[in-house]
Amino acid sequence: MTPKERGLFELYEADPERADALVWGRVVDPNSRRGFLRGLGLTSMAAAVGASLPFSDKLPGGIIPAAFAETPKDFVIQGKDGLTLLNDRPLNAETPVTLLDEDFTSTAHHFVRNNGGVPQRAIDGSVEGWTLSLDGEVERPLTLDFQQLTRDFQSVERAMVLECGGNGRAGFNPPSTGNQWTLGAVGCAQYKGVRLADVLKKAGVKKSAVYVGYYGEDTHLSGDATKPVISRGVPIAKALHPETLLVYEMNGAPLPALHGFPVRLMAPGFPASASGKWLKRLWVRDQVHDGAKMTGTSYRVPKYPVKPGVEVPESDMVIIENMPVKSIITTPGTGASVQNGQALALRGHAWSGAGDVTAMHLSIDFGQTWVAAKLEPARNPWAWQRWTHNLRFPQPGYYEVWARATDHTGLAQPMVVPGWNPKGYLNNAMQRIAVTVA
């Protein structure tokens, strides 16, 4: 069973001694209450605090090292504003939906989803010595430095939705393990990069190519530098799609450390986990990639509807590709009020991993009737689409505004949480907000 991702404070509050074992591999002597760090455990803590531990044999068991002992309420995410912290190790934070009202998501308001530690190169902001290797089922393996990547291939700029596969996980019952995202693990920033297809073309993709797996420079929480944190990828057809990019700029600036500096993969329409950060290697394979978080139940859902809470055989799970159609109400927030007879201005965004959204509807009578909202076209494929509507209410009282998007394939958001799955993926239930008409 894959352990749930939890922060240090949650782990130590629930069971300090078990936290020692999980985080550092430390065994506590029940007589002396001292923690014995050996081998990888000692290496892990030394790597985490950035120095050796001369008195490791004297370290009491069940306490958080002082290097990490700041309180969660004082936790500051550099370069971010207003995000809700879900986890401090690894760092995961979502955006309150009202902060997503911008036409394109600013870097300060973009959610963060990490699986391990941010690499030192990204923190330093230096491309010196960085290379990206591309090997496997290609005629001519490549090793490109940053200058070659940005100089030798045509650059393109795109606005792209990036959404965590677990966005909306908090809505599933019974609950699933993992970060309990509500609505804010999504953003649509503007990116600059080169087409992965152009790089693959230079390498010469063989007919045997099936999948492209990525490897990044992020560090495993255990401190083991040889252990991949996450290594997912995309089918070769997606890799060769002209909108799949290797990006190096976000919102007109170099990629921030938290978002994959110096280069990340962007596979729009797929869950964000397919868009690997801090790239160092792309492996073209003759089979479906089987890297970290590609097997078991990771980013997979049952191939058929299942009863909530049941165990699903691994053979009956399929890899998530296109994300479902979805929308958010960014203005106003729930709890809004308006005077009787006045119109309430609503706005938000809609998107779909399958392509364009073609209709946006609102209901104030719990789904009995619907009105069409104005829906603007996407700036480019896989950018979200702005919708607006001035809504009027028939009389004073309490109302719920429901928002429903429909994509070009005819699929619409469901009223309730969709089919249950073990990891709580793909919740695209309609958002609803409360409105009081005075």
326-437 folds as Immunoglobulin-like (2.60.40)
Calpha distance 413→111 (Å, rounded): 22
pLDDT at 177: 85
Give me the amino acid identity at 12: Y
Calpha distance 189→252 (Å, rounded): 10
The architecture (CATH level 2) of 113-319 comes to: Alpha-Beta Complex (3.90)
| Residues in the chain, pLDDT under 70 | 1-75
pLDDT at 3: 38
Instruction: Count Cβ atoms below 10 Å from residue 340 Cβ, excluding itself.
Output: 12
Which are the contacts of 346, defined by CB distance < 8 A and separation ≥ 6?
329, 331, 332, 362, 373, 388, 389, 390, 391, 401
**Kind and range of the H or E run holding 254:** strand 253-254
Give me the amino acid identity at 350: A
Domain with CATH 2.60.40.650 in the chain: 326-437
Supply the DSSP symbol for 97.
G
Domain with CATH 3.90.420.10 in the chain: 113-319
